[in-house]
Amino acid sequence: MKTIIHADNSMFFRKLMKTFLAEHGFLGESFADGSEALRAITQKDVSLVITGMVLSDMNGWKFIKKIIIASYQIPIIVLTSNTSETEEYGLKALGIKAHILKSGAWKETLLSYLYQL
């Protein structure tokens, strides 16, 4: 089974995401820092990366760029509290699959992307 990597600074949100993924039949691993998440990407069969924009050792921009530069060819979804349209457009220009806000119906939106991918 392929793994979904989740990176986010919030321990609460990492636990919530791991439970959410498991409830829907997905194998998820969560990391607080981008370096650990990047290491996991090199060691596992990863189908998707879900990241916040705040990680313990780097910001989401840097994390995403490292994935892209390394040419891992893994879809990336950003799950964030930031409602900035500038951020959303910039991230989409980098090639992320989705920019989902943590407020509102994020679970339903994320689930639809998970089944698409």
Tens digit of pLDDT at every position of the chain (117 positions): 689 999 999 999 999 999 999 999 999 999 999 999 999 999 999 999 999 999 999 999 999 999 998 888 899 999 998 878 888 889 989 899 999 998 888 999 999 999 887
For 109, phi then psi, to 5°, come to -65, -45
Structural domain count of the chain: 1
31 lies in which domain range? 3-116
pTM: 0.93
Bridge partners, residue 3, by sequence? 27, 46
- For position 18, which CATH number holds? 3.40.50.2300
The residue type of 23 is E
